[in-house]
């Protein structure tokens, strides 16, 4: 069930119940994390049912899973209880007052419940790549035009070090913007960013018979990011959202109790290097 010919990862996973009956697709990492373990639920069968329901509601499993986690912290559902989680999904489907708030996402849910510990950057829920565990990804969440978007520049390069993460995040965001612009799946790409750029260059030249260079391909990603940043500046996006979540800086995660401690002032400089950036 691969999303494109030749992909060895084959992310588009179909989930069947114990009797072999179709339940949902694709049953994938972010859904299992946010609608599953994030809610203390580890049985894959009810999580698959959640995915099917959320797909048909037209909502996002990351955003809704984060909102339900916040709701659980306020006693609106019981952690680890699939039936309790299903009851919240029923509220959304029925269009109750709280169901509509849940459907509006994690920020709306937290504000309604009076919770200031909100797992979101720029209004978008934090996905299953915790910024405390992978600090360059956290820089991406804090600086990306989309906020906490795991498709905008997730990287695990030197993940535990708070130093040097600004250029790493910039490189990842440019690389993802290039790949998105060309319709190329990042999961099918090599880890070496320069090798990926060489591959995309060769693909374009083979298809169109040109002589495109890596620098020209990189410019595609740069321009995409510039367009996104310019769009945000023309809206209320920069002023309407809450500050970055403080709890990530104080509450440790994992056995090493790591926090997200990259200098916020340094993160503000990330786009200063956009024009001059080159893959080495």
80 SS3 class? coil
Residue 210 has pLDDT above 70, yes or no: yes
Contact call for residues 221 and 172 (beta carbons, < 8 A): no
Domain contains 125: no
- Contact predicate 179/199, CB 8 Å: no
pLDDT in tens, 148-176: 999 999 999 999 999 999 999 999 999 99
Q: What is the pLDDT of residues 2-20, one digit of tens each?
A: 666 777 777 668 999 999 9
CATH code, domain with 31: 1.10.569.10
Q: With H, G, I as helix, E, B as strand and everything else as coil, classify residue 15.
A: strand
Q: Are residues 148 and 275 in the same domain?
A: yes
As beta bridge partners, residue 258 has 253
Rounded to 10°, the helix 165-181/214-233 angle is 100
Domain that holds residue 9: 1-118
The whole-number pLDDT of residue 1 equals: 64
- Type and span of the H or E element at 25: strand 22-25
Higher pLDDT, 26 or 30: 30
Average pLDDT value for the chain = 93
Task: Tell whether 141 and 218 lie within a shared domain.
Answer: yes
Distance CA(175)–CA(212), nearest Å, equals 16
Average pLDDT, integer, range 45-56: 97
């Amino acid at each position: 069930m691969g999303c494109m010919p030749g992909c060895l990862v084959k992310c588009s996973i179909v989930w069947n119940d114990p009797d072999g009956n179709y339940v949902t697709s694709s049953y994938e990492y972010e859904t299992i994390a946010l609608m599953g373990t994030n809610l203390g639920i580890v049985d894959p069968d009810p999580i698959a049912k959640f995915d099917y329901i959320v797909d048909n509601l037209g909502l996002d499993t990351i955003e809704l899973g984060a909102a339900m986690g916040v709701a659980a912290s306020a006693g609106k559902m019981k952690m680890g209880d699939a039936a309790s989680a299903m009851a919240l999904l029923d509220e959304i489907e029925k269009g109750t007052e709280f169901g509509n708030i849940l459907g509006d996402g994690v920020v709306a849910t937290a504000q309604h419940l009076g919770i200031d510990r909100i797992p979101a950057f720029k209004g978008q829920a934090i996905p299953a790549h915790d910024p405390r565990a992978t600090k360059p990804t956290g820089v991406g969440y804090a600086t990306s035009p989309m906020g906490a978007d795991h498709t905008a520049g997730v990287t695990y390069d030197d993940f535990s070090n708070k130093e040097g993460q600004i250029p790493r995040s910039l490189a990842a965001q440019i690389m993802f913007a290039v790949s998105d612009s060309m319709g190329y799946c990042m999961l099918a790409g090599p880890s070496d960013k320069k090798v990926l750029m060489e591959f995309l260059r060769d693909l374009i030249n083979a298809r169109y018979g040109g002589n495109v260079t890596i620098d020209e391909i990189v410019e595609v990603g740069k321009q995409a990011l510039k367009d996104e940043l310019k769009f945000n500046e023309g809206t209320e996006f920069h002023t309407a959202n809450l500050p970055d979540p403080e709890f990530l800086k104080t509450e440790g995660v994992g056995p090493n109790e790591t926090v997200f401690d990259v200098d916020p002032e340094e993160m503000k400089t990330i786009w200063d290097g956009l024009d001059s950036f080159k893959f080495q």
